[in-house]
Amino acid sequence: MKFCPQCTQELKVLEFDGVERLACPSSDCDFVYWDNPTPVVAGIVELDGSVILVRNVGWPEKMFGLIAGYLEKNETPEDGILREVREELGLEGQIQDFVGYYPFYELNQLLLVFHVRAAGEIVQGKELEAHKLIQANVLKPWPFGTGLALKDWLEARKE
């Protein structure tokens, strides 16, 4: 963000209670760009004992992750992840558990991760380039983002 959305002046770095933030320098305007994290829902989606990993359009060739997406206005996180599962995989899901919340600082996101059990035939949505099913017992979590939730989930499942 470069310009004030309220009065179009160029934003400047100003200090608020010891924290530097982009803000509007105009004395008639109180706009501060807080840059708050964005909530993102993600699902460890299980289908017949396997977990579904997906590659979004535009991701590098070998990169797969959990199904994830932004919430719609007035939508609960549970409804949000079930909608993503429906839209991107063509599956009806059921929430099993809330795995937890995971800050993803690099992307300024707060991930809300659910374990979802799904049934049906996968019909890949337009935001996905590829998907694969990996049996939970051979799944290797990646060390960032949703991978941290997957690691916790896999560990809890062994106990």
**Which residues are near Zn ion by CB under 5 A?**
4, 6-7, 9, 24, 26, 29, 31
How many other CB atoms are there within 10 angstroms of residue 69's CB atom? 18
State the nearest-atom distance from the C-beta of 30 to Zn ion, in Å: 8
Which residue lies nearer to Zn ion by CB, 30 or 159?
A: 30
Q: Where are the beta strands (DSSP E) in 1-82?
A: 12-16, 19-23, 32-33, 38-47, 50-56, 67-70
- The token pair at 1 is 């963000």
Q: For residues 26 and 56, which CB has a smaller minimum distance to Zn ion in the complex?
A: 26
How near is the Cβ of 5 to Zn ion at its closest, in Å? 8
Residue 5 or 120: the one with the smaller Cβ distance to Zn ion is 5
- Kindly state the smallest distance separating residue 21's Cβ from Zn ion, in Å: 13
Rounded to an integer, what distance in angstroms lies between the CA atom of residue 45 and that of residue 96?
Answer: 10
Q: What minimum distance in Å lies between the beta carbon of 13 and Zn ion?
A: 14
Nearer to Zn ion, 20 or 30 (CB): 30
